Amino acid sequence: MADIKLLIEKVKNWPDKKKAVMAGFVVLGLAAIIVIFAWSQKVPYQVLFSNLADEDAGKIVAKLKDLKVPYKVTQNSIMVPQEKVHELRIQLATAGLPQGTGVGFEIFDKPDFQATDFVQKLNYRRALEGELARTIASLEEIDKAKVHLAIPEKSLFVKDKELPTASIVVNLKQKKALTQEQIQGIVHLVSSSVEGLIPNNITVLNSQGELLTRPTDELIGLTATQLEYQRKIEKELQQRIGEILGPVVGREKVKARVSLELDFAKTEKTEEKFDPEGSVVRSEQSMKEKSVTTGPGGIPGVQSNLPGKTPLQGAGMQTSTQKQSETTNYEISKVVSHVTGPYGSVKRISAAVLVDGIYKEKTAPKDAKKKDTTAPEQVYVPRTDVELKQYGDLVKKAIGYTEKRGDEVTVINMPFGGIPKEEPEKRDYVKDSVMLAKYLAPVLLALLFIIFVVRPIMKSLTEPPQAPDLPKLKPMPELIEKQAKQSQKQLEPERERDVSMPPEEEPGILQDLNDWAKWVQDNPNQASQIVREWMEHEEA
């Protein structure tokens, strides 16, 4: 309490100019601390949705109010706190927001029993277009999408059948582009969603009117697939070489490259082989015939043929006929084979392997007396021919080396330019500095305020007070004697603790001026209290 009163008294004695300057510093420091603290506590906002239809924007704002989430509406976007963006998008998607400019299958949520068949088909096409547009717009690179479908009426005649077509317009985000794989994915998505729609009947445009789809060319597509397959096999073989030599020479001391020559030709062969020596009875047929016939009899001539005359019978001659035949059919032995050549078979493999040597520390000469504190020098030691041959045999086994195929494997030992070090991950130092300044600025400002404002004030308070220019006081022996006795009583406990006290020549009275000065220096608070009572007594 005494220190606080002393501080108040000292501030009261300051000149008005000094009071104004100190008050300004205090107010400025407090204002700066408040501003920095408010800035550090400011919540960063991020775009939730942009370029929305008015209907969708109104529904989203109403939903955010229901969820009690703070938001900001700019010219063409809705912004929410950054840490809640993904969570809110999921919640709004569950609620079916945003619906987009087109309609989806929700058009059938309210059935209209008075709608004609034409209206139902039209609504179905609109719903299908809207759903496809929403699905395409969900891609990261696409901001908006519009789908137009032309679905012809089904015909009973095959010759009058028409195929559906589709047109897609995509509006890409800034600094975004679609890869050819993504475009083909969009085409496949739409063709799979519409009955009878083939990829060749789908056109994809961007917002600048540029055609993104290309005509399907089987040869070009096949070549791209072949190259991808070839690179995949080459990479796999390179990994095999690294895996088998890495534990021996070190992962960073072996480099391998493999070149493949693949055969993508499609070959089909039909072959028939006949075996002249091999025969199989296919069928046998045996036939026997036997017949008996009698020759003509009677009297030849006219008499035997006249009417009314009974012809005389004569004995005729009998003849017999016998016939026998056998037929045997044989099947010719033959072999019919239909052979299809392997697609993408390996015709030739070429592998080049580069192996680093061994690095050993250079031994110091025996007569060296001084101990060198620097790092020892590294000396390169090449691999032996035996080691290189062993490495080559391992590589051949790993890649499936075939001499008849003309494969080649080359293993060379050469010093590397140094073991490559992995580059450290690049950090965004600007962003880190901003975040660090955001949290350290209030602390730094408070520290500066304490050093340049609070510390000088406290220092001035802790300094021993200087005796003011006092008017000459009249001698007051009674008061001096009284204060001396009180001081003696207060100093008795200190004496018991072996505290140094000014020597006394007589009880209650301090005679020596030097002892007084030392006592005042050791007990400034009590001395100031005595002087203060003197002043109060004089004023009274």
pLDDT band at 475 (very low <50, low <70, confident <90, very high): very low
Residues 6+ apart with CB under 8 A from 172: 141, 142, 143, 178, 206, 207
Q: What is the mean pLDDT of the chain?
A: 76
* pLDDT in the model for residue 250: 87
Tokens representing 243?
A: 């895996």
What is the per-residue pLDDT across 138-194, written as a single tens digit (0 to 9) for each? 888 888 889 999 988 887 776 777 889 999 999 888 888 888 888 989 999 999 999
Q: 413 has which bridge partners?
A: 355
Q: 355 has which bridge partners?
A: 254, 413
pLDDT over 80 (residue 63) = yes
* 8 Å CB contact between 502 and 511: no
pLDDT band at 306 (very low <50, low <70, confident <90, very high): low
What is the per-residue pLDDT across 337-349, written as a single tens digit (0 to 9) for each? 877 767 778 889 9
Identify the residue whose tokens are 């300004």. 24
* 8 Å CB contact between 351 and 409: yes
pLDDT winner (highest mean) among 5-19, 55-69, 439-453: 55-69
Q: What is the DSSP secondary-structure string of 144-203?
A: EEEEEEE-PPP-SSGGG----EEEEEEEEPTT----HHHHHHHHHHHHHHSTT--GGGEE
Tokens representing 159?
A: 């010759």
pLDDT over 70 (residue 373) = no
* pLDDT in the model for residue 473: 42
Mean pLDDT for 3-10 is 72
C-alpha torsion 339→340→344→350, nearest 10: 20
User: What distance in Å separates the CA atoms of residue 237 and residue 399, rounded to the nearest whole number?
Assistant: 6
Q: How far is CA 234 from CA 241, 242, 259, in A?
A: 11, 12, 6
pLDDT over 70 (residue 506) = no
* pLDDT in the model for residue 213: 82
User: What distance in Å separates the CA atoms of residue 124 and residue 323, rounded to the nearest whole number?
Assistant: 85
Q: Place domain 109-216 in its CATH homologous superfamily.
A: ANL, C-terminal domain (3.30.300.30)
> Do 218-277+333-363+376-418 and 109-216 fall under one CATH topology?
yes
User: What distance in Å separates the CA atoms of residue 157 and residue 175, rounded to the nearest whole number?
Assistant: 50
pLDDT over 70 (residue 102) = no
* Closest C-alpha to 259, from 296, 282, 234: 234
Q: Is the peptide bond before 98 cis (omega within 30 degrees of 0)?
A: yes
Pairing of strands 165-172, 142-150: antiparallel
pLDDT over 90 (residue 30) = no
* Closest C-alpha to 454, from 15, 39, 7: 7
Q: State pTM to two decimals.
A: 0.37
pLDDT over 90 (residue 417) = no
- Rounded percentage of the chain residues whose pLDDT exceeds 90: 16
Mean pLDDT for 507-521 is 63
Length of the chain: 540
Tokens representing 533?
A: 């009572």
pLDDT band at 431 (very low <50, low <70, confident <90, very high): low
pLDDT over 50 (residue 467) = no
- Rounded percentage of the chain residues whose pLDDT exceeds 70: 71
**Main-chain dihedrals φ then ψ at residue 417, nearest 5 degrees:** -75, 10
* pLDDT in the model for residue 223: 67
Q: Which of 59-68, 365-374, 376-385, 493-502 has the lowest mean pLDDT?
A: 493-502
* pLDDT in the model for residue 510: 43
User: What distance in Å separates the CA atoms of residue 47 and residue 65, rounded to the nearest whole number?
Assistant: 17
* Closest C-alpha to 168, from 153, 140, 187, 194: 187
CATH architecture, domain defined by 218-277+333-363+376-418: 2-Layer Sandwich (3.30)
* Closest C-alpha to 353, from 413, 437, 403: 413
Q: Where are the domains of the chain?
A: 1-40+433-463, 45-94, 109-216, 218-277+333-363+376-418, 477-539
Residues 6+ apart with CB under 8 A from 186: 136, 139, 168, 170, 178, 204
* pLDDT in the model for residue 367: 58
- How many of the other CB atoms lie within 10 Å of CB of 132? 24
CA 531 to the chain's CA centroid: 79
What is the per-residue pLDDT across 317-335, written as a single tens digit (0 to 9) for each? 667 788 888 888 877 777 7
- Burial class of residue 457 (count of CB atoms within 10 Å of its CB; 0-12, 13-18, 19+): middle
**Main-chain dihedrals φ then ψ at residue 184, nearest 5 degrees:** -65, -35
Helix/strand/coil for 412: strand
User: Residue 204: CA atoms inside 13 Å, Cβ hemisphere, count?
Assistant: 26
Tokens representing 161?
A: 């059948």
- Is pLDDT larger for residue 217 or for residue 203? 203
Q: What is the DSSP secondary-structure string of 418-479?
A: SPPPPPPPP--HHHHHHHHHHHHHHHHHHHHHIIIIIHHHHHHHHSPPPPP-PPPPPP-HHH
Mean pLDDT for 23-42 is 74
**Main-chain dihedrals φ then ψ at residue 133, nearest 5 degrees:** -65, -40
